[in-house]
Chains A and B, each alone.
Chain A
Amino acid sequence: MNQQALPLFEIFIRSKRGLDHRHVGSLHAEDCEQALEYARDVYLRRSEGVSIWVVCSSDITASQESDVASFYDPMDDKPYRHATHYKLPKEVDNM
Chain B
Amino acid sequence: MTENTAQTDLQLDNFEEKVANDQRIEPKDWMPDAFRKTVLRQMSQHAHSEVIGMQPEGNWITRAPTLYRKVVLLAKIQDEGGHGLYLYSAAETLGCSREEMVQALHDGKAKYASIFNYPSLTWADIGMIGWLVDGAAIVNQVSLQRTSYGPYSRAMIRICKEESFHQRQGYEATMVLARGSAEQKAMAQDALNRWWWPSLMMFGPHDSDSAHSGQSMKWKLKRESNDVLRQRFVDQTVPQAEFIGLKIPDKNLKWNEERGQYDFGTINWDEFMQVVSGNGPCNRQRLQHHIQAQQDGQWVRDAMHAYELKRQTREVA
A interface residues (Cβ-Cβ under 8 A, vs B): 1-6, 8, 24-28, 30-31, 34, 42-43, 45-46, 62-65
Contact = CB atoms under 8 A, between A and B. Distances in A.
Interface of B: 26, 28-30, 75, 78-79, 82, 85-86, 89-90, 92, 97-99, 103, 154-155, 158, 162, 294-295, 298, 301-302, 304-305, 307-308, 311
Contacts of A8: 89, 92
Contacts of A25: 85-86, 89-90, 154-155, 158
A4 B85 contact: no
B308 A30 contact: yes
Given A1-B294, A2-B298, A24-B158, 6 more contacts: A4-B301, A8-B92, A25-B154, A46-B162, A65-B26, A65-B28
Contacts of B304: 6, 30, 34
Nearest to B311: A31
Contacts of B307: 30
A30 B302 CA distance: 11
Contacts of A42: 82, 85
Contacts of A30: 304-305, 307-308
23 contacts: A1-B103, A1-B298, A2-B302, A4-B301, A4-B302, A4-B305, A6-B305, A8-B92, A24-B158, A25-B154, A25-B155, A25-B158, A26-B89, A26-B92, A27-B89, A31-B308, A34-B304, A43-B82, A45-B75, A45-B78, A45-B82, A63-B28, A64-B28
A26 B26 CA distance: 16
A28 B28 contact: no
Contacts, number: 54
B285 to A, nearest CB: 20
Contacts of B298: 1-2
Q: Is the interface of B mostly helix, strand, loop or mixed?
A: helix
Given A25-B86, A25-B155, A27-B89, A45 B79 contact: yes
Q: Is the interface of A mostly helix, strand, loop or mixed?
A: loop
Contacts of B308: 30-31
B282 to A, nearest CB: 23
A4 B103 CA distance: 13
Contacts of A64: 28
A24 B90 CA distance: 11
Contact of B28 (A6, A46, A62): A62
Contacts of A46: 162
A28 B29 contact: no
Interface centre among A2, A3, A34, A62 (most CB of B within 10 A): A3
A62 B49 CA distance: 31
Contacts of A63: 28
B56 to A, nearest CB: 21
